Chain A
Amino acid sequence: MSRKPIDQQQPSECRQAVWDLIRKLNHPFTTSDLQYYIYLDASSINDYLIGLTNAWYLKAAKGPKRMDPVVYTLINDTGHDAPRVRKDGTPVTMGQGRLQMWNAMRILKTFSATDLAFNASTDDHHVAASEAKTYCEALCRAGYLVGRANQRYMLIPAKWTGPQPPQIQRTKQVYDPNLKKVVWSKIEGGAE
């Protein structure tokens, strides 16, 4: 099943909830143990567990009988943040640029889109100046940044809501995963 837009998901409907539960259980578990608490279908949970196993966060053991469920054990607890892994265990890189920009903004405080691109780039992941510009404009509309002279932006300190970068959704709205709410959306046919 395809994933719902993030602003329409229940708090117990995401991978973070699965990871939190795994850490809280603190003993070997099966998929059906999780399903009781998590509002996700079994195949979605399974995909994540397989990914975690391939990335060596979990160890999977098959019971002796053919129909026995797989029992998972947490072997690498890396703390609060749910690991972002694909099914084959490789790390998810989507959103990496946004994350790097969001981190850099807090450190730079006042910046132009060019500055942001330069400071947010690493040798693993380059941030293009055009990408930085798009993101700055969106955050400016959502009231996170204020525009200054010379096309510079300033981050309002109180608007650094947490470690996760606000997302620009395809439906033309800005969603803040730290606050878990939509912070800006385009009004169709509103007042001009």
Chain B
Amino acid sequence: MAKTDLDVNTAALSIVMLAMGCLKRIVERRDHLPGMAVLYGFSGFGKSTAAAYISNKMSAYYIECKSVWSKKAFMENLLKAMGISPGRTVSEMLDQICEQLAKSGRPLIIDEMDHIVEKVAVEVVRDIYEGSKAPILLIGEERLPGKLAKWERFHGRIMEWAAAPPADLHDAKVLADFYCAGVTVAEDLLTAIHGKSNGSVRRIVTNLDLVRKEAQSQGLDTMSLKEWGKRALYTGEAPQPRRFQ
């Protein structure tokens, strides 16, 4: 069946390679080096894709913070992700988490870190790190490093700050190979899509979907800028104000 032979090459996306390298360096670090890393960038740049990939590849624990979480809620949810029933008190839970991380040797990925930076909950992450020395990757929006700078004791434990790169033309090619399987997207159209998408993996995928559907409805197996013509590409921008004469 042709469907099973799709060209899946998630690992080749530049954001995935960056995140993978980052996590590997903190996992394989020497003992005296700090064991946390930060991955930050604008939304849509593929941070979640990278998180999904690296958590599967390195069998890391993954947790996504919510803005309403307290220290306790953070730990309860982390224990749920580990499959352990939480202890009665907060300190009991902290011990459970640290033990599991230290024994299993699995890294921890904390996504949407921005949400808990403003609160005392950020101290919990430091406690977990100190109690387990597990490699921890923090993921957040573009302004995360600035927010973390306020927490001096935290700052010194970070080995690497990685800025998510905008998707490049090669990334667009990788995505096209998968999302437009069966349709050849010509170089000029791919360049146009890449240009319009402003470095966002999410928008490239949306546009490739449009291309695939259009190609299928027209029965074409190649799509170039000529066939695509003046059809709109998704840019994610708010529409221009309308003018009535």
* Chain A residues packing against B (C-beta within 8 Å): 77-81, 99-100, 103-104, 106-108, 114-115, 117-124, 126-130, 162-164, 178
| Contact present for A103 and B57 (CB under 8 Å) | no
Contacts of B3 on A, CB cut-off 8 Å? Answer: 128-130
B103 CB-CB contact with A under 8 Å: yes
Contacts of A126 on B, CB cut-off 8 Å? Answer: 8
Contacts of B52 on A, CB cut-off 8 Å? Answer: 103-104, 107-108, 119-120
Partner of B8, one of A77, A107, A121: A121
B224 CB-CB contact with A under 8 Å: no
* Chain B residues packing against A (C-beta within 8 Å): 1, 3-4, 6, 8, 10-11, 48-49, 51-53, 55-57, 62, 64, 80-84, 99-101, 103-105, 111, 178-179, 205
| Contact present for A119 and B103 (CB under 8 Å) | no
A151 to chain B, nearest CB (A): 11
Contacts of B8 on A, CB cut-off 8 Å? Answer: 117-118, 121, 126-127
| Contact present for A107 and B64 (CB under 8 Å) | yes
Given contacts A124-B57, A126-B8, A128-B3, contact A80 B84 (CB under 8 A): yes
| Contact present for A79 and B56 (CB under 8 Å) | no
Docked complex Cα distance between A159 and B55 (Å):
20
Given contacts A108-B52, A122-B11, contact A163 B6 (CB under 8 A): no
Partner of A79, one of B51, B64, B81, B100: B100
B145 to chain A, nearest CB (A): 22
B66 to chain A, nearest CB (A): 9
Contacts of A162 on B, CB cut-off 8 Å? Answer: 80-81, 83
Docked complex Cα distance between A125 and B178 (Å):
16
B107 to chain A, nearest CB (A): 13
| Contact present for A128 and B6 (CB under 8 Å) | yes
| Contact present for B6 and A80 (CB under 8 Å) | no
A67 to chain B, nearest CB (A): 35
| Contact present for A118 and B105 (CB under 8 Å) | no
Partner of A121, one of B10, B64, B81, B179: B10
| Contact present for A130 and B4 (CB under 8 Å) | yes
Contacts of B62 on A, CB cut-off 8 Å? Answer: 103, 106-107
| Contact present for A81 and B83 (CB under 8 Å) | yes
| Contact present for A163 and B4 (CB under 8 Å) | no
